[in-house]
Structure 1
């Protein structure tokens, strides 16, 4: 979850005293434990622990709680939603996260509960209501509940429940003194870049990319980006806070105090995640911004004046010792795939504009194995759907805005063909696999998309 503290809100007001505000009732909770399944990836299991909550949930796990909730997508038509088997699975300064089972569908969901400022709309809610993608955790419903104090109101986000995180998966392999299979690294990172391509096309910057916010199903290896508590729709010319993003994953422009940064801060964070999966530990640890900057300089060398200007034109101090860049091949272990090292080097660059875009990252040779028809997970299971790019935007895949980016990307690369857009040439700098028929492309272009 977000390490940014309080729930993120936007500046447009609408008090949450709305239809759908409902109290629900309870008490005891359980924390998520871990066991190892057939896939070799840790799987969630329940273990007793105590937890406290302002959301009055059922003390008895068999008790049914009913609230009036609004669907996450579509018209605002409040409806009754009933759930049971409630337990706490996470908490922090942001609030509390519960696991519950919907009565109607018997599906497991996560309920994220955050304190709502009556003066503002919740930015996380506004962003999540507009997102619809297979690699983004889905907002099913939302409802409001009263707190213990007078006039205290909580926003409850009912989300897809996904049992594991990339952080826990990586920690599992580290504890076993083994290396996470490279196929998992490829599958997870590819899906992360798909999710970033989508949200960036919507003008949304996540601002807290880290292994803990990457949910994964241990059996299918499907990844879903979660926790949009720090996310923001970036508008050029409007300042943003620089103290954002969790430590270890903060882009250097944030450390330099930039307030006009772009979504490229997410790319840097993604590069840190990739490096961490390859190394088995964070690549740029540090207890402060200065400590982290020192670690970055040890690898990338001292930034030039021009690079500092690109990160933050208002930063005038330049008192760093001149240190040469450390060869990337020496940063990683000897058997690290050279394509993985090459990808890292293109993500972790000082100059934000020179970092790869999410689509360029997807087309990198590091992911060539995923494009092979016989590619499988270590369990022998087929890979999750990675190339199911929708042309409608109605099936939780990729909307027309993102498709525009794909079309533009492919046209610039000279790979727009008459029948399908597809390449599997490993030596090509663009070896992205899309199955989009040219007539569909023509329809989108004719519609002015």
Structure 2
């Protein structure tokens, strides 16, 4: 999410208007060598009690439109942390900071401290979020297996997706929608297989009746209601994105690629078929009068490789639904049969290590859908609570060229997107 777009949805006063401002960097990290940096920072959780925090070994590990991410080592504990530095508009409070301060879950990257620093330009202020450092992402893990011309072992798919759904259940119970679920935002420790959801730069506390921007979420993972321009969407957009992540891990490639909204809708319709008028109404009532060419749904079993576990296909089909309210809730997904193996006491990681803690549900989690608790917590784990074969497969076939071209023309008209029809001249 770009800084200008993010700022357009921010509300409230900026850091310079009150006691939120917690400290300044004593020097710029770009100039860091082996020096020790000491700042006055506020703890991420709990009372606002600024304290000195010192760190060293600073290096850039990521950057983008949001700002820069550094890796550093805390002097006191010798732990590695990530420091996300973003330009702060003084007129507004930072939504990412406000959300992260209220979140506390084992599958969400933890905000340890935050502080402000001055930029090179006059009156330029940066917000610095000191976060847990986790070395890998699901994206890089999957890419590693893809380069080896294999797919990620199914046990990892189960462990990663289960933890993702736990994190979503928690944030949704707090009224927060992440709005950018994708493999790059799923941090993983390759040794323990612990997953932590990160990057709440696009996240928002959704309030019924208040409009939201529809151009949110990264391409390939955008729910159809977003592509249709809905502004009254719910946290079910995160469920669609999670379904896309699951499908991608099973396929070894994105399930709904596309360079535009039209491209992506075409790919979605090739799998799910043309949405009914009622489904379109549920996504965005403004489009119910349009006549869409009829394309039949493609069988889910033919979308995936032949030896894909049936339970995985079943779960995908329950997540990737046109109608937002019919998608599984995060905890319903956790209770799905696809994850039954994780509930067996003998299950281990391929390395022989124990699974990460999967059933240490908090009272908050247990109160979300209590009717599921007996399924979610296997008997052996009650104390925790306070390779697929590859082979060839056929990608789903292209529907009738004439019908597909009609669909593309209708979608192009709806979105006035100026889609280059010549790119489909091979149909």
2:262 to 283, 290, 295: 290
What is the alpha-carbon distance in structure 1 between the residues aligned to residue 77 and residue 157 of structure 2? Answer: 33
Residue 300 of structure 2 is aligned to residue 337 of structure 1: no
Aligned to 1:435: 382
Q: 1:21 aligns with which of 20, 23, 39?
A: 23
What SS class does the counterpart of residue 247 from structure 2 fall into?
A: helix
| Contact in 2 for aligned 1:136/1:225 (Cα 8 Å) | yes
Report the TM-score when normalising by structure 1.
0.82
2:151: which partner in 1?
179
Offset at residue 354 of structure 1 (A): 0.3
Alpha-carbon separation, structure 2, partners of 1:233 and 1:166:
25
- Greater share of helix: 2
Tell me by how many angstroms 1:303 deviates: 0.2
Q: Distance in 1 between matches of 2:280 and 2:345?
A: 44
Shift of 1:215: 0.1
- CA change 1:165–1:303 in 2 (3 A) is same
Q: How far off its partner does 1:151 sit?
A: 0.4
CA drift of 1:403 comes to 2.4
Which is richer in strand? 1
Q: Which 4+ residue blocks in structure 1 deviate beyond 6 angstroms? A: none
Aligned-pair CA distance for 1:423: 5.1
What is the CA–CA distance in structure 2 between the aligned matches of 1:335 and 1:382, rounded to whole Å? 26
Unpaired runs of 5+ residues, structure 2, are: 387-427
Q: Spell out the pairing of 1:134-153 with structure 2 (5 A cutoff).
A: 134-153=106-125
TM-score of the pair, normalised by structure 2: 0.86
> Which of 197, 200, 205 is the aligned partner of 2:177?
205
The question of whether the paired residues in 2 share the 8 Å contact of 1:264 and 1:352 is answered with yes
The offset of 1:57, in angstroms, is 1.4
Alignment of 1:35-114 (within 5 A): 56-57=28-29, 59-114=31-86
How does 1:232-381 map onto structure 2 within 5 Å? 232-381=204-353
Summarize the Cα distance change of 1:143–1:437 in structure 2 as closer, same or farther, 3 Å threshold.
closer
- Are 1:116 and 2:88 counterparts? yes
Deviation at 1:93, TM superposition (A): 0.5
SS in 2 for 1:16: helix
CA contact (8 A) 2:25 2:37 kept: no
Residue 130 of structure 2 aligns with which residue?
158
Q: Give the Å deviation of 1:178.
A: 1.2
Alignment partners' CA distance in 2, 1:58 and 1:249:
34
- Structure 2 counterpart of 1:127: 99
Q: Which runs of 5+ in 1 are unaligned?
A: 26-55, 392-399, 425-432, 441-449
Provide the aligned length of Structure 1 versus Structure 2: 383
2:359–2:384 CA contact under 8 A, matched in 1:
no
Secondary structure at 2:85's aligned position in 1?
A: strand
| Secondary structure class of the residue paired with 1:145 | strand
Instruction: Show the 5 A alignment for 1:214-225.
Output: 214-225=186-197
What is the Cα-based RMSD across aligned positions, in Å?
A: 2.0
